[in-house]
Amino acid sequence: MTLKNLQIDWLKCFVTVVDTGSLSNAAPELYRSQSAVSMQLKKLEEALHCQLLIRTHRQIELTSQGQLLLGYARRILDLHAEAQMAFHGDELKGRIRLGVPDDYAAKYLTPVLKRFAPRYGGVEIELICEQSTSLIPRVETGDIDLALISRDNARQGTLLFHEPMVWVGSPQFELWREDPLPIAVYESTSQAKKSAINSLALQGRRYRVVYNSSSLAGQIAAVESGLAIAVFTQCSAPEHLTILSADHGLGPLEPMEVAVYRSRASLESKAVDHLYDLLLKTLRHSVNI
C-alpha cells in the first residue's frame, strides 16, 4: 500500500474541527469555507484509508481511528509551531497567574496546559486553585491574570460551555430516603449550593445542612462516609459514588456556566493572549466530544 504524506493543513483542519465541535465552527477559525474544510478532511481520510469523524446534524464524534490520530496530530502541530517560533518569532516569555476551581483543573485545564507548555517554555505559570467565588474578585482586582470560573453574571468573562450538575451519594448509604435530607454544601455564595437549595425548594423537600466545606476533597469525604449527599459538577463526580436522580426523589439541577475570565491588567501581556486564545479554542463548543 502506497503511503501518502500527511499535510500540515489537513491535520490543522482536523484538530480545529474537533476543538470547535463542527465544520461550521471550524471554518472561520481556519479562514476557509465550510466546503473547503470538508474537502481537507476528505483528503486526510483518503490518505489514511479510514474514517476519522462521524458527522450528524448536531455534532461530530471521533471514530477509534480519529481518536488515535488526534494525539499524533496535536504533537505534530505543537512541534511544527515550536519550529516556526524558533526561526521566525521572538521567544514568548512572562508569568501568568492562572486560577481554576479544583473540580475543573484535571479534566479541562490539564489538556490545555499540556498543549501550551511545549510551545512556550519561557512562560512561567503560577496556578491558583480556589473556588470561583474567590477567583472572580481576584481577577477583577488584577491579582490573577486569567481564570476558569463558574459564573452567575454574563459580564464575568467569555462563556465556554455549560457544565451539568448532579446529586451524588454513597452506594452504601440510602440517605436520599431520609427526611429531612442531609446535605453537604460549599460556602454560602457558591452556585452549587444555590442550585441544590433551589431544586429542593421547588420540590418542597425538607433538608438540613450537616457539612460545610469549600474543598472538593472535603465534600467527597462527607459523601463517602455516609454523612450527607452533595451536589457536584458532573466532571468531578468520582466513579465509585452514585449519581442520584428522580428515581431517588431528587429534582433536576441548573447547569453551571463555565467561562474564562481575564483581568484588565493582563491585556498588554502576549503570554496571557496566547493562553487565553488556547483556552477558547480548546474548550469552547468542544468539551462533549
Domain chopping of the chain, boundaries: 6-86, 92-160+255-282, 164-253
**Does pLDDT of 286 surpass 60?**
no
Q: With contact defined as beta carbons under 8 Å apart, do 182 and 205 qualify?
A: no
Cα–Cα distance measured from residue 43 to residue 39, given in angstroms and rounded to the nearest whole number: 6
pLDDT at 288: 43
CA 254 to CA 164: how far, in whole Å? Answer: 7
Quote the pLDDT of residue 1.
Answer: 60
Q: What is the mean pLDDT of residues 282-288?
A: 63
End-to-end CA distance of the chain: 32
| 92-160+255-282 CATH | 3.40.190.10
HSE-up of residue 279 (Cα within 13 Å, Cβ side): 27
Whether the per-residue pLDDT at 289 is higher than 60: the answer is no
- CATH number of this structure's domain 164-253: 3.40.190.10
Classify strands 123-129 and 94-100 as parallel, antiparallel or unpaired: parallel
How does residue 125 score in pLDDT terms, banded at 50, 70 and 90? Answer: very high
Quick check: 275 pLDDT over 80?
yes
Domains 6-86 and 164-253 share a fold: no
Would the CA dihedral through 11, 12, 13, 17 be positive or negative?
A: positive
CA nearest neighbour of 261 among 134, 117, 143, 99: 99
Per-residue model confidence (pLDDT) at position 57? 64
The topology under which CATH files domain 6-86 is: Arc Repressor Mutant, subunit A (1.10.10)
